[in-house]
Structure 1
Amino acid sequence: MLRPEVLNYYLRGGERDRLSSGAGRLEFLRTWDVLIRTLPASPAVVLDVGGATGVYAAPLAQAGYEVTVVDPVPEHVAVSRGLPGVRAMVGDARELPAGDASADAVLLLGPLYHLQERSDRLAAWREAGRVVRPGGVVVAATISRFASLFDGFVKGFFGDPAFGPLVERVLAQGRHGNPDEVPRWFTSAYFHRPEELAGEVADAGLVLRRVVSVEGPLWMSPAALDGFLGDPALLLDRLRVVEEEPSLLGASSHLLTVAVRESVGGL
């Protein structure tokens, strides 16, 4: 289900602690902030597709949601199954092991950026639309087309002569690669331009509600983030104000797209 280098990335623990500090912590807090303002009230049934080790499933279950993680990495599923109130199973976002209209909400917080072909991304969107009930919500995460460029400056990756061509390909085609599996760099992925998302949602038969920036440009200022993340209330409050500002979408490392399945007789 996963390309070998993608599976190796996750088996090496590439994402194990990423969301616990710095820009990763900001990503988690902002994603959670958007989710709690977007999901139907608990108790509701949430299918967390690509939910990995349950970093969002665990707090959702604690908040009263009925959560099932679907992930292609068996090791991730084993960890998620050990979380209180969380179900988990191995599965592919393009062919979900769930019935029609069986969930109140579907999360695609991992799959879309590992599907480099548009046809595969549309298959994942359509499957989410199939399993969510009419009127239900789908929340999907994507990586910005410009994330590698900015990340290279923040982390000093341009010191490696192989990194420049990688960024050039991403900017031109959206396809991110890591042919030598350099541990510091992300694995094979697709990085979206913000304006692409509306077309994917429409072609999958869903209705776009909004596209929001997750971190905004603040992820590029790690020193400043350390202070704000100690007491993030002000940070989260201010970022909500500009989360849908079109001119800032490309500067965010991640984007969240909120779509709904049209209900019978209209939305």
Structure 2
Amino acid sequence: MADEVHPDPDLLRYYGQGAEADRLRSGSGLLELLRTQDLLRRFLPPPPAKVLDLGGATGVHAEWLVTDGYRVDLVDAVPAHVEQAATLPGVRARVGDARALEEADSSYDAVLMLGPLYHLVRREDRLRAWREATRVVRPGGLVAAATVSRFASLHDGFRSGLLTNGDFREMVARDLADGRHRPPPGKPWSWFTNTYFHLPEEAAAEARAVGLESPTVLGVECSAWLLAEEEIDEWLADPDRRGRLLWGLRRIEREPSLLGVSAHLLTLANRSL
């Protein structure tokens, strides 16, 4: 077990407002959920594999993983998230930090980090989380980590019109310069909280630095999230259109020249045998 660590108080305050509860239910958030499902269902070992969902929030991914037949344990730093996730049938949930896990060595077939790397702004903290995920996954097992793209706030500014706001532009300039997303005090929660925005190749480099093998980086929403929210809802509401949209995104999910356009990236790597 790693040394004790403590989460960022700003993170706890932000998520304590319940900001995550409905984020993945419509528009670009629902697209993120559906594409994450699509990717993981192709790369996870088959059920009933044992999965550790690190930073699993209220259990939005744990819920469908259990339905698919996986055995799921969830760890999250926010007590309110864990309280909600623990009500889901088949999900065991506890409060914890991705940098200091209680779980035993080699105890999972796959480890998901679909949030922790967002809020570990120091590289040494992100590497601690990668090392802990590597420790608790079995040899040959999968580690899947989501990151926010370095260019996400800029693209969101184009899409939303927020680039007309001087404070927003200054924030975007800082994001692009060093990847550290720091909303000005008092700005709306939609500007998010303290976050690290990865360049497309960075998470793969972090995975290699802890000894994981053959990291692959995939776009999650790819370019489709640049559509207006109502247009995304229209695509996703119709099964035929949704199928065509997902088909198209699979065609470009590995294209290096387009990775930075996606709001989120998913890095997949395996522990060496």
Q: TM-score, normalised to structure 1's length? A: 0.96
Matched, 1:14 2:24: no
Corresponding residue for residue 218 of structure 1: 224
Question: Which of 236, 245, 254 pairs up with 2:255?
Answer: 245
How many aligned positions are there? Answer: 263
Q: Write out per-residue CA displacement over residues 195-226 of structure 1, whole angstroms, 9 at most, x where no aligned residue.
A: 21221011111113411000111101124323
Question: Which of 102, 108, 114 pairs up with 2:113?
Answer: 108
SS where residue 119 of structure 1 aligns? helix
Corresponding residue for residue 60 of structure 2: 55
Question: Which of 249, 252, 262 pairs up with 2:272?
Answer: 262
* Conserved? CA contact 2:201–2:217, under 8 Å: no
* Conserved? CA contact 1:68–1:88, under 8 Å: yes
Q: Which runs of 5+ in 2 are unaligned?
A: 1-5
**2: CA distance, partners of 1:78 / 1:87:** 10
**2: CA distance, partners of 1:78 / 1:131:** 23
Corresponding residue for residue 145 of structure 2: 140
Question: Which of 19, 34, 37 pairs up with 2:42?
Answer: 37
**2: CA distance, partners of 1:209 / 1:237:** 23
Give the alignment of 1:158-237 within 5 angstroms: 158-183=163-188, 184-222=190-228, 223-230=230-237, 231=239, 232-237=242-247
Q: TM-score, normalised to structure 2's length? A: 0.94
Supply the AA of the counterpart residue of 2:272: E
Corresponding residue for residue 3 of structure 2: none
Which region of structure 1 is more displaced relative to structure 2, 74-83 or 156-165? Answer: 156-165
RMSD (Å) for aligned C-alpha atoms: 1.1
Supply the AA of the counterpart residue of 2:244: L
Percent identity of the aligned residues?
56
SS where residue 19 of structure 2 aligns? coil
Supply the AA of the counterpart residue of 2:263: S
* Conserved? CA contact 1:181–1:187, under 8 Å: no
**2: CA distance, partners of 1:70 / 1:191:** 22
Please state how far the C-alpha of 1:2 moved relative to its aligned partner. Answer: 2.2
Q: Write out per-residue CA displacement over residues 153-203 of structure 1, whole angstroms, 9 at most, x where no aligned residue.
A: 212222332111111111010000123142221100000001212210111
Q: Which runs of 5+ in 1 are unaligned?
A: none
SS where residue 92 of structure 2 aligns? strand
SS where residue 265 of structure 2 aligns? strand
Q: Write out per-residue CA displacement over residues 58-107 of structure 1, whole angstroms, 9 at most, x where no aligned residue.
A: 11111111100000001111111100000001110001120000000000
SS where residue 20 of structure 1 aligns? coil
SS where residue 162 of structure 1 aligns? helix
Q: Write out per-residue CA displacement over residues 141-160 of structure 1, whole angstroms, 9 at most, x where no aligned residue.
A: 00000000011121222233
* Conserved? CA contact 2:20–2:57, under 8 Å: no
- Alpha carbons of 1:181 and 1:257: their partners in 2 closer, same or farther (altered >3 Å)? farther
